[in-house]
Structure 1
């Protein structure tokens, strides 16, 4: 185990509510399982999973204030769907408060809410682990996504993004531009595979 993990667990347990802390542990364990499956670095997966929601202790308006204070660029669509901003601010916190310098870990934290086009393996692992971790129980397709995640990361990305867009459209929620771009990217990968 990475020697810093115990320290970060203690800090997060002090700062997050108990259910958010348990979720963060579950995401880190799920990320490690996916890392084992895809031959990715276990320590990076564990660290990114553990810290992915480190900014979740703040409400939307407080995160907006903190992003502005630290001069993090805020897009209009992020302000319309501020729930995604904990990822952006979380990446900042991971770097500036927790001392994380690894760009792959910071990227995985940054993109775990919206996704983006051309995600790295760790980006996909954290995005997917956040969706499928064992404590999640609300999405109707969880069992299928949990199985699919261990056979095809790109197809899992497509299916989760597709489900997210359908859900947000049905609720009349604002959809972040990056989520749309990520969906189109993974949709194109899927279509190219079908042609091959």
Structure 2
């Protein structure tokens, strides 16, 4: 799918603010893909569609999670996590994207997972550090991303976990697994 068609499909699903975020993620993903050797076309499409389901009704997302074999424990955690797996499903059904790598990069862009592929790492990090993001710690991760993808990911996941702990929110297990897996790779 060409960039302009993908952007048009996504723009219909998002607020203007979220669409601008998507443009930032797309540009950042392309930069990271070039830097670390990921497939640039796949990075572009995954970034464009990463928030496709962000504003879908919660009932629709619950139904997709329940009916499509996604882990049911996901429903016990913050609904902010739901748009990633439901987005992967809807992008396949509504936009006709069938590439598993692209769909998995969309699926895991909020929680991460142990054993993330290079494309999944690029999308996860691009979503975290795109230029429109402004929160404590993001500048440090942006600088790390220029030098070492894994170190940048470790710091971004660490920041996310600490943020959730400070707010007394539950942390989805895949996020802990992501962190542990990335730290193990630092030690190798």
User: TM bucket by the smaller chain?
Assistant: over 0.9
**Aligned counterpart, 2:130:** 133
- Do the aligned residues in 1 keep the contact of 2:145 with 2:152 (CA within 8 Å)? yes
- Do the aligned residues in 1 keep the contact of 2:52 with 2:87 (CA within 8 Å)? yes
- For residues 130 and 74 of structure 1, do their structure 2 counterparts lie closer, same or farther at Cα, with a shift above 3 Å needed? same
**CA–CA separation in structure 2 for the residues paired with 1:105 and 1:20:** 20
Q: Which stretch shifts more, 73-82 or 28-37?
A: 73-82
TM-score by length of 2: 0.94
TM-score by length of 1: 0.90
Structure 2 residue runs without a partner (length 5+): none
- Do the aligned residues in 2 keep the contact of 1:26 with 1:134 (CA within 8 Å)? yes
Structure 1 residue runs without a partner (length 5+): none
**CA–CA separation in structure 2 for the residues paired with 1:59 and 1:165:** 26
**Residue 19 of structure 1 is aligned with which of 7, 17, 21?**
17
**Aligned counterpart, 1:82:** 79
**Equivalent pairs, count:** 188
**CA–CA separation in structure 1 for the residues paired with 2:23 and 2:75:** 27
Cα distance per residue 1:84-123 (max 9 Å; x no partner): 0100001101111111111111110010001111111100
Map 1:116-127 onto structure 2 (within 5 A): 116-127=113-124
**CA–CA separation in structure 2 for the residues paired with 1:168 and 1:60:** 21
- Do the aligned residues in 2 keep the contact of 1:77 with 1:175 (CA within 8 Å)? no
Displacement of 1:77 in angstroms is: 4.5
- For residues 103 and 110 of structure 1, do their structure 2 counterparts lie closer, same or farther at Cα, with a shift above 3 Å needed? same
**Aligned counterpart, 1:176:** 172
- Do the aligned residues in 1 keep the contact of 2:109 with 2:123 (CA within 8 Å)? yes
- Do the aligned residues in 2 keep the contact of 1:60 with 1:83 (CA within 8 Å)? no
**CA–CA separation in structure 1 for the residues paired with 2:123 and 2:77:** 24
CA RMSD of aligned residues (A): 1.5
2:107 pairs with 1:110 = yes
**Aligned counterpart, 2:68:** 71
**Residue 29 of structure 1 is aligned with which of 8, 27, 32?**
27
Displacement of 1:58 in angstroms is: 1.6
**Aligned counterpart, 1:188:** 184
